[in-house]
Amino acid sequence: MRVAVIGAGPAGIYAANILTAEYDGASVDVFDRLPAPYGLVRYGVAPDHPRIKEIIRALSLILAKPGIRFVGNVEYGRDITLDELRMFYDAVIFATGAAADRSLDIPGIHLPGSFGAADFVSWYDGHPDVARDWPLDARQVAVIGAGNVALDVARMLAKTAHEQLVTEIPDNVYAGLAANRGTDIHVFARRGPAQLKFTPLELRELAHSPTVDVVVHPEGFEIDESGERAAQQNRQTKQVLNTLMQWLGEPAGDKPHRIHLHFCEAPVAVLGDERVEGLRTARTELRADGTAHLTEQHTDWPVQAVYRAVGYLSSAVPDVPFDAEAGVIPNRAGRVVGDDGAVVPATYVTGWIKRGPVGLIGHTKSDAAETIANLLADRDRLTPAPSPDPDAVLAFLSGKGIVHTDGAGWARLDAHERTLGEQAQRARIKVVERDEMVRIARAEHRAAVSPPLVLAEPPRLR
């Protein structure tokens, strides 16, 4: 059985692992549009969270398994189509994830100075397809959201560039953060502290910086009956509340930067004529079911930039059905279904593009297992690929002028980034330019790079 997986993030890699483990005759090519694998683990995790990226070690062992091959720098829908894939594979699994920002439909949200959190994350994570510069001239900044991405954005905006120089950030990101003028970062949650999606560890890390004070504002700090029940039933909710209550009402110290946490404040408009000049919020009231409802009590906050961290959203995939409202490929337990409700033969889906951007790594594994179970149940009905030779698809791509990377190339790029890091007393420094990533991966020449920034005594991450 020959199977193509589109997307080399955790969902796609887990699907390949489960399939090859459960079916001896399976061989899987895992495609990605980027030259490097791992998706949001590489390009969606804050650089000062290296322990989260430990998952890369497990994923790399999977990609090195016999029967699994990484094919990078190949964009589905542009470099190869679904009909073309069917020439080489018996089945196709889409694991393209969710990397776009969910929209926030309020007046002024498209003013200059209003940003999506996913775009900012891509910038500070050195994504090859985003601009190298980021405007960081606002002193007062609003971050809209009540999840870990909102905390990541707030922390990256508040911490000094010097503190980040122990991480893997490339030099352009260091230079951008060094020019950051922000002093006060305001995080707004539309519901109360018991309804937050923060994890306790992420929340506590806000206070680990020697240059940042955390200020929890008492206005709107409401724990209703549903919140009390949540704290009793959920250990993480209780830990989050305990941390917040330790900070509640404590005045800001003398540190140069502050992260302000506001609760029961819902954004209703971004203010300004030609660019962001403020954010208007409405106080919310919590109902018995835990939902938040707007009141007529409004507050205008004098911020000069707004970041929305209200969730990720999947993008449509060419030649495959897509539910734009839900942001998923319609499916039944991983089998893709068309607009008429009929199953699309030999076409499957897993990960966030299957179920939406929710759940942790454990959910991703069980989700992939469900999809693979159904693929294997269908195996007698799959049409064998006309050209199943593993070399055939690579020859096809080369014939179209598509330059791809592979597992050995990723190993070379990985080693190169680690060498850059060692020279600067860091674990890694990312290569940002796509062409340079490809050249290093394909060993076409030794990259000529500027010496990385080095600290005589690099700060320690706490």
d(CA 121, CA 25): 40
Check the annotation: does 150 bind a ligand: no
Check the annotation: does 428 bind a ligand: no
Q: How far is CA 328 from CA 98, 360, 372, 378, in A?
A: 9, 17, 18, 22
Check the annotation: does 40 bind a ligand: yes
Check the annotation: does 353 bind a ligand: no
Rg over CA atoms, the chain = 23
Q: At what angle do helices 225-233 and 235-247 cross, to 10 degrees?
A: 120
Residues 6+ apart with CB under 8 A from 98: 312, 313, 314, 315, 327, 352, 353, 356, 357
Check the annotation: does 11 bind a ligand: yes
Check the annotation: does 360 bind a ligand: yes
Check the annotation: does 352 bind a ligand: yes
Check the annotation: does 361 bind a ligand: yes
Check the annotation: does 335 bind a ligand: no
**Residue with structure tokens 């980040």?**
164
Give the 3-state DSSP-derived string for the chain, with helices as H, strands as E and coil as C.
Answer: CEEEEECCCHHHHHHHHHHHHHCCCCEEEEECCCCCCCCHHHHCCCCCCCCHHHHHHHHHHHHCCCCEEEEECCCECCCECHHHHCCCCCEEEECCCCCEECCCCCCCCCCCCEEEHHHHHHHHCCCCCCCCCCCCCCCEEEEECCCHHHHHHHHHHHCCHHHHCCCCCCHHHHHHHHCCCCCEEEEECCCCHHHCCCCHHHHHHHHHCCCEEEEECCCCCCCCHHHHHHHHHCHHHHHHHHHHHHHECCCCCCCCEEEEEECCEEEEEEECCCCCCEEEEEEEEECCCCCEEEEEEEEEECCCEEEECCCEECCCCCCCCCECCCCECCEECCEEECCCCCEEEEEEECCHHHHCCCCCHHHHHHHHHHHHHHHHHCHHHCCCCCCCCHHHHHHHHHHCCCCCEEHHHHHHHHHHHHHHHHHCCCCCCCCCCHHHHHHHHCCCCCCCCCCCCCCCCCCCCC
Q: What angle do CA 296, 302, 307 make, to 5 degrees?
A: 90
Binding residues for FAD: 11, 40, 352, 359-361
Binding residues for NADP(+): 190-191, 202, 359
Binding residues: 11, 40, 190-191, 202, 352, 359-361
